């Protein structure tokens, strides 16, 4: 982003037309600056680390259990937590984790 040295406004880009070159111009004052170099901006995206819904075995000690069917092993009991992940007028999302030691599938219901 470039700013006008005279008034401090954000400069806008005027596209090249005809014989004119690409240039920056100020929308509020007569400042104009030709673009001499190629405009390139590279930014690395840093991916956010995804945290599991239930982190570790200790968090399961505080989670409540409910009678529901696991989609993978068809066990009849799962840990659950509810969180508001959308706007306040939407219903809460329920996250489940199968209680069976060899399954431990995690799923959610909106």
Q: Residue 33, annotated ligand binder?
A: no
Q: Residue 103, annotated ligand binder?
A: yes
Q: Residue 99, annotated ligand binder?
A: no
User: Are the CB atoms for 80 and 64 separated by under 8 Å?
Assistant: yes
Closest by alpha carbon to 6, among 27, 31, 34, 25? 31
Q: Residue 98, annotated ligand binder?
A: yes
Q: How far apart are CA 41 and CA 44, in angstroms?
A: 10
Q: Residue 7, annotated ligand binder?
A: yes
Please give the annotated binding residues, written as ranges: 4, 7, 26, 29, 70, 73, 98, 103
Please give the annotated binding residues for Zn(2+), written as ranges: 4, 7, 26, 29, 70, 73, 98, 103
């Amino acid at each position: 982003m470039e700013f006008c040295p005279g008034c401090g406004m954000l400069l806008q880009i005027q596209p090249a037309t005809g014989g004119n070159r690409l240039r920056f111009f100020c929308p509020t004052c007569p400042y104009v600056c030709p673009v001499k170099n190629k405009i390139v901006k590279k930014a690395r995206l840093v991916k956010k680390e995804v945290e599991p819904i239930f982190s570790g075995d200790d968090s399961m000690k505080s989670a409540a259990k409910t009678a529901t069917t696991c989609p993978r092993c068809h066990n009849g009991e799962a840990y659950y937590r509810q969180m508001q992940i959308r706007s306040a007028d939407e219903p809460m999302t329920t996250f489940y984790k199968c209680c069976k030691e060899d399954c431990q599938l995690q799923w959610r219901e909106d």
